[in-house]
Chains A and B, each alone.
Chain A
Amino acid sequence: MSEVIVEVGDRHIREINEEIQDLCRKNKKIRIINTLSRHNLGIGLPPNCELSFEGSVGYFCGGLNTGAKLSIERNAGWACGEGMSDGMITVGGYAGMSVGAAMIGGTIHVKGNSGPRCGVAMKGGNIIVEGKIGYQSGFMAHSGKIIALGGAGDSCADALWAGEVWVAGPIDGLGVDVNVVEPTAEEVSEVDDILKPLGLQDSSRDWRKMVSGQRLWYFESRDANAWLMI
């Protein structure tokens, strides 16, 4: 696969994305330079293509990805990988708020910390954060796994649905309607299988697994105790 360079600079984002889409369909390996933290780079990418972004990117990078492999050298702005259904996104530094929001499949690997509401409303796939996940991460996650190796901020897994939040490291505080459960050996093995290809497997980790308390699943607005919970 030959490599092609695409420069961002001050070009129109629609023009850049059309060029990227065209190169992806030709199975080119794409290196994107001079990104200047611009928004909306690499949206709706097809499978079987590989992109590397030099520097940092802005909002929504890799959004609606359907199978491409993206590597971002430094930071990603808000909602990186939002709504992606397949593929792989690697963020070399910090990922801003709502990384992996509403994603339904694929993997996002953040080497630094993530901002608030990591994996908000995600419906599938996995998000692995080597650092700490921010405030209210996992908020209303319906499915999939958020795996944080460096701890979690306050209001962790708030109003979680059927998703799972796994944390190895300190947790500043739990959100509402969350249960912390002891994972089974089989479940830990499943998480290790996710971490292994990234070279992050470590059997000595002390995991805490958070699941929904299910008390908000059947919220009864006339129940005074239900309101006290939130």
Chain B
Amino acid sequence: MCGIAGRILGAPGTVGKDLVDLMDAQAHRGADSTGFAIYGIPRETGYVLRGMGFSRDKVDSDLSHFTNILRDNGSDFLKDPEILIDSNKHYCFRMEISDPKDLSAWITDADSLANSIEIQSCGRSLEIIKDTGGASAVADKHNVRDMIGTHGLGHARLATESSVLPNASHPFWARPFSDVAIVHNGQITDYFTWKEKLKRKGYRFLTENDSELIAIWVSDQMKSGLSMEQALKKSLTSIDGCFTYMIASTNEIGFAKDRFALKPLVVIDESGNLAAATEEQAVRRIFKGENDVINYDGPSLTGIWGIGNRSLAA
């Protein structure tokens, strides 16, 4: 059991606070870790990176190796990296970098350091923040409530098939595609079969989490030319298991629900001002009145919601 959420605002606003509210209401669905994928105002050039290092004692050497690879790929920091160190063994970072010559090639190079420092999101507007603990604790630590944006995803994790590690938390970034993230509630039962197939195609898995498969599987489908909508539909027959997952890009949020109809999704959509969650009581934190809810309870469902105005109000 995990809890997922999505939020779309009509215009840039307090998407961080809203997602924290949505996930706080579903904290009972999984207190192991919580994560957020927040889409801020998109930049024209450069990328924001979010990630973690596995040992706070190795920050300097990690950054040194990371910087070398970054510069070898024609990129550099636009400002000093922000490093967050607390009592945990791991540390977290936020970086702003200029465009590498080839994003995909740089990601492959940077992933050679993934045993010590791991990029968890890369985007013009996407920032993935994930850590161990409940929604409030993660939000407090990473100032998620203050994050402004247009849309985003949230996840509360009850770890069942892989370790309780911050990097095994959701959301997962569909590397190497910038600005694509997924959250998942369920179990993928043909995970190992798909993992081996995708590894043979050159993909690298950074965790043992079955949900990471969805991100990489979607990435592979998009690489072969499928749109998000096509990939969502294809996943219903290609991936086995019980699942409801949501995927977000700069322009849309989509969802897919398996053929067994085992994982819920409840949505309130008021003309593009939208909240989606595993439980209705969570979306009622955003829409406190008796707004009509849509229960996506049936089997084999997919859907996509577009993002409206993406520019800041004057």
Q: Which residues from chain A sit less than 8 Å from chain B, CB to CB?
A: 36-39, 55-56, 58-59, 74-75, 77-78, 94, 96-97, 115-117, 134-136, 153-155
The 29 sampled A-B contact pairs (Cβ below 8 Å) are: A36-B281, A36-B284, A37-B280, A37-B281, A37-B284, A38-B281, A39-B281, A56-B293, A58-B280, A75-B280, A77-B279, A77-B280, A78-B264, A94-B295, A96-B264, A96-B297, A97-B264, A115-B261, A115-B295, A115-B297, A115-B298, A116-B261, A116-B297, A116-B298, A117-B261, A134-B297, A135-B299, A136-B261, A153-B298
Chain B residues whose CB sits within 8 angstroms of the CB of A56 once the complex forms: 280, 290, 293
Chain B residues with Cβ below 8 Å from A96 are: 264, 295, 297
CB of B293 within 8 A of CB of A75, answer yes
Q: Are B281 and A55 in contact (CB under 8 A)?
A: no
Most chain A C-beta atoms within 10 Å of own C-beta, residue among B279, B297, B298: B297
Q: Mark B274-314, 1 if CB is under 8 A from A, else 0.
A: 00000111001000101001010111000000000000000
Q: Which residue of B is nearest A59, CB measured?
A: B279
A135 and B261 within 8 A (CB):
yes
B-side residues, CB < 8 A to A, are 261, 264, 279-281, 284, 288, 290, 293, 295, 297-299
Output the least CB separation between A165 and chain B (Å). Answer: 17
Q: Across the interface, which residues of B come within 8 angstroms of A153, CB to CB?
A: 298
A134 and B261 contact, CB distance less than 8 A: yes
B254 to chain A, nearest CB (A): 21
Q: Is the CB of A58 within 8 A of B281?
A: yes
Using A75-B280, A117-B261, A136-B261 as known contacts, list a sample of 7 further A-B pairs with CB atoms less than 8 Å apart, ordered by residue number in A. Answer: A36-B281, A36-B288, A37-B281, A59-B279, A77-B279, A136-B299, A154-B299
Closest to A54 in B: B290
Report the minimum CB–CB distance from A63 to chain B (whole Å): 16
Q: Would you give the shortest CB distance from A205 to chain B, in whole angstroms? A: 25
Tell me the complex Cα distance, A39–B264, Å. Answer: 14
Collect the chain A residues with CB atoms within 8 Å of residue B298's CB: 115-116, 134-135, 153
Min distance, Cβ A160 to any Cβ of chain B, angstroms: 17
Min distance, Cβ A139 to any Cβ of chain B, angstroms: 11
Measured CA separation A136–B280 after assembly (Å)? 22
A58, B261: Cα distance in complex, Å = 18
B135 to chain A, nearest CB (A): 16
B59 to chain A, nearest CB (A): 41
Q: Are B290 and A55 in contact (CB under 8 A)?
A: yes
A38: chain B residues within 8 A (beta carbon): 281
CB distance from A117 to the nearest CB of B (A): 8
Q: Which chain A residues lie closer than 8 Å to B261 at the CB level?
A: 97, 115-117, 134-136
Chain B residues near A59 (CB-CB < 8 A): 279
A74 touches B297 (CB 8 A): no
Q: Measured between alpha carbons, how far is A116 from B261 in the docked complex, in Å?
A: 7
Given the known interface contacts A97-B264, A115-B297, A154-B299, the answer about A58 and B290 at a Cβ–Cβ threshold of 8 Å is: no
Query: Considering only CB atoms, which chain B residue lies closest to A115 in the complex?
Result: B297
In the assembled complex, the Cα of A136 lies from the Cα of B298 at a distance in Å of 10
Q: Compute how far the CA of A75 lies from the CA of B280 in the bound complex, rounded to whole angstroms.
A: 10
- Contact residues in A for B281 (Cβ distance below 8 Å): 36-39, 58, 77
A75 to B281 CA separation, bound complex (whole angstroms): 12
- Name the CB-closest residue of A to B285: A36
Q: How many angstroms between the C-alpha atoms of A38 and B25 in the bound complex?
A: 10
Q: Given the complex of chains A and B, what is the CA–CA distance between A78 and B279 in angstroms?
A: 9
Task: Point out the residues of chain A lying under 8 angstroms from B280, CB to CB.
Answer: 37, 56, 58, 75, 77
The 4 closest A-B pairs by CB, nearest first: A115-B297, A37-B280, A116-B261, A37-B281
Kindly list chain B residues whose C-beta atoms are within 8 Å of the C-beta of A136: 261, 299
Q: How far is the CB of B21 from chain A (nearest CB, A)?
A: 12
Chain A residues whose CB sits within 8 angstroms of the CB of B293 once the complex forms: 56, 75
Could you tell me if A58 and B299 are in contact, using CB atoms closer than 8 angstroms?
no
A77 to B280, CA, bound (A): 7
List residues of chain A with CB within 8 A of the CB of B297.
96-97, 115-116, 134-135
A39 nearest CB neighbor, chain B only = B281
Q: How far is the CA of A140 from the CA of B42 in the complex (A)?
A: 51
Contact residues in A for B279 (Cβ distance below 8 Å): 37, 39, 58-59, 77
How far, in whole Å, are A97 and B262 apart by their CA atoms in the complex?
A: 9
